[in-house]
Amino acid sequence: MFKTIHLRFEQQVALSVGVLCLVLIGASTGGAAWIAKRDAVQRISQETAALAGTMASALDSTMFERFREIQLIAGLEPLKSVWRSDPVKVRNVLNTLQTSLPTYAWIGFAAPDGTVRASTKGILEGASVAARPWFKTGLIGPALSDVHEALLLSKALDAPPQAEPFRFVDVAMPVYDPSKALVGVLGAHLSWRWADEVRKQLLAHRDAPTTIDIWILSSEGKVLLGPKLNDAPFDPDELTMMKAAHRGVFEDESPVGGILTGFAATEGFQTYPGLGWIVVTRIPTRVAFASMDHAMHAVLLLSSVISLVGIFLAWLLARRMAGPVRRLTVAAHQIGRDPATTMLPWLGGSQEFIELSLSLRSLLRRLGVAERERSHAEERATDRSRVFQQTIDSLREEADRDPLTGLLNRRAFLTFAADIIPYYRRYRRTVAILMIDIDFFKAVNDTHGHAGGDTVLCEVADALSFCVRATDKVSRFGGEEFVVLLREVDAAEANVVATKLRAAIENLSVRHGPDVIRVTTSIGAAVVSDADADILALIERADLALYAAKSEGRNCVRFQGAIDESGLSDAA
């Protein structure tokens, strides 16, 4: 009923070689295209982030220069004797500075009562700036204020009508006479227009698409320089990510499609502390990757043409290969198509093909036996490896954990915390150690037995673990003593955590049979300092503070080390 179609040997060879050619060319060109696209995406992403980083560095370096200039003028020795007596000389110096750098919209020197005694071009001289934030903070020390509007100064400067009001960044420095007495505040208003000039220059010196844009965001995520001033274009999660990463790139969506967004957070420079600005570069992905997409299309077209030529050549070669191997090819092909077929048939004909048939059949038998043995060996090895790994993991867990509370034991904690001091010295990331001791624990054991004491230890361990962050570590050092490692905290923050832990344990109601057991703790704390040689030195200082806490009545928190500025007690 049905007619079976048999392909000739040359047709099979032509088809096989053609498919192989198509697969190889497709795989090679596709792989090359994928690698090229990956590299191009990475390069464009890096360039986008680098553009933001260059802008951030330019902002930091420029603000550092302005900050340093005002700081130098405030400390000039020749002016220290004339701040009070000769406003004309001071005005000449300020005018000279403004002439050399038009970025300074206004520079003024105000007496301690807030009266402007000298300023550029005499603007606001005699007026009071006592209520201005820059003056108030400048009385205390070097101060910066973020971008803001100043309508009064804009009127005094006779600013031309424009789409947006004058905006400034303030720098203020206290000024002292030779006797180191405060004589006033030197303040400078920097026109925010310089940031736009930096942006234009940066784009002008790059072969950048006209669709790329650079924004500057405040530390709160509001637009300081960009299309919609004071708008917050990014959600809090994105803003937090940018602050944490400092520099990077991501793709977000907009009404017109995907946007490739690079970002870089300003970090200050030397004495300039920075204002937390974030520079954002944005370019539509369809523009950023346009040349790459065109190249991909060209590669795919070329690979298709080459594949067709390869198939045609394979057909020409296969026509010359028809011969005695046809039957052997068909039989071998049958093994590949039919999983139930595991052996070649006997082949007749010439002695060469008979010997080839015998050799292939013997080889297939050996391969089958070897494959089965290899499979069984792999299964046994896998089973043994899984058992060994489970045993090792279980032993390691038991070695590192306190068997009663499940917390890290002393050895595991010291191993974990061994690099805390080197990490602090390199990155200046503070940590604190809390030494916690259960008050009158012996009385608990004497009254309720060791089972009651074990119940109290477990409840206290659970309360400590619950009250700290996932990045902190709690360990049972032995007996009724616990240690807590707090990361990224200063003395005041450590005191808050210690007080929280003390109150949490004080409020515990531990049930043991019919009894309700209440306990309190004494806590000694210490914040890492340059004097700590290693983690044991920091623990020892916390232990001294614990001793002070127990000596002063228990159920309290005491600190060891110089922390007077936080208002906490010093147990040194």
pLDDT for 273: 81
pLDDT tier at 301 (50, 70, 90 boundaries)?
Answer: confident
Q: What is the mean pLDDT of residues 177-191?
A: 85
Q: Domain coordinates of the chain in residue numbers?
A: 1-322, 334-384, 410-566
Report residue 446 as tokens. 């004497």
Assign 394 to helix, strand or coil: helix
Per-residue pLDDT band for 2 (boundaries 50, 70, 90) equals very low
pLDDT value for 567: 40
568 closest CA partner among 501, 521, 499:
499
The lowest-confidence range among 181-185, 212-216, 410-414 is 212-216
Question: What burial letters (b/e) apply to 442-476, b meaning 16+ CB within 10 Å?
Answer: eebbeebeeebbebbbebbbebbbebbeeebbbbb
Question: E strands within 92-200?
Answer: 104-110, 116-119, 143-149, 167-176, 182-191
Query: With contact defined as beta carbons under 8 Å apart, do 263 and 49 qualify?
Result: yes
Tell me the CA distances in angstroms from 361 to 62, 179, 335, 346, 353, one per residue in order. 81, 106, 12, 9, 12
Query: What's the N-to-C CA distance of the chain in angstroms?
Result: 104
pLDDT band per the 50, 70, 90 thresholds, residue 546: very high
| Range from 275-289, 292-306, 392-406 that averages highest in pLDDT | 275-289
pLDDT at 407 over 50: yes
Return the CATH class of domain 410-566. Answer: alpha beta
Please state the rounded mean pLDDT for residues 430-450: 94
Which residues are CB-neighbours of 451 under 8 A, at least 6 positions away? 512
Task: Report how far apart, in Å, the C-alpha atoms of 496 and of each of 77, 499, 568 are.
Answer: 46, 5, 11
Among 3.30.360.10, 3.30.450.20, 3.30.870.10, 1.10.10.10, what is the CATH number of 1-322?
3.30.450.20
Residue 339, pLDDT score: 62
- For residue 571, which amino acid is it? A
> For residue 450, is pLDDT > 70?
yes
- Bridge partners of 401, per DSSP, are 408
Q: Looking at beta carbons, which pairs linking 512-515 to residues 24 or more positions away fall under 8 Å?
A: 512/448, 512/451, 512/452, 512/455, 512/456, 513/452, 515/448, 515/452
Paired tokens of 81:
């004797």
pLDDT > 90? residue 462: yes
C-alpha 572/C-alpha 570 separation (Å) is 6
Q: Angle 327-329-335 (CA atoms, 0-180°, nearest 5)?
A: 110
The mean predicted confidence, pLDDT, of the chain is 80
90 pLDDT band, cuts 50/70/90, is confident
pLDDT tens digits along 217-245: 888 888 888 777 888 888 888 888 888 88
Tokens of 82: 């004339």
Distance, in Å, from the CA atom of 334 to the CA atom of 337, rounded to the nearest integer, reads 5
436: left (phi over 0), alpha (psi -120 to 50) or beta: beta
**Which residues, at least 6 apart from 356, have a Cβ–Cβ distance to it below 8 Å?**
328, 347
Query: pLDDT tens for residues 242-265?
Result: 888 888 888 877 766 778 888 888
HSE-up of residue 256 (Cα within 13 Å, Cβ side): 9
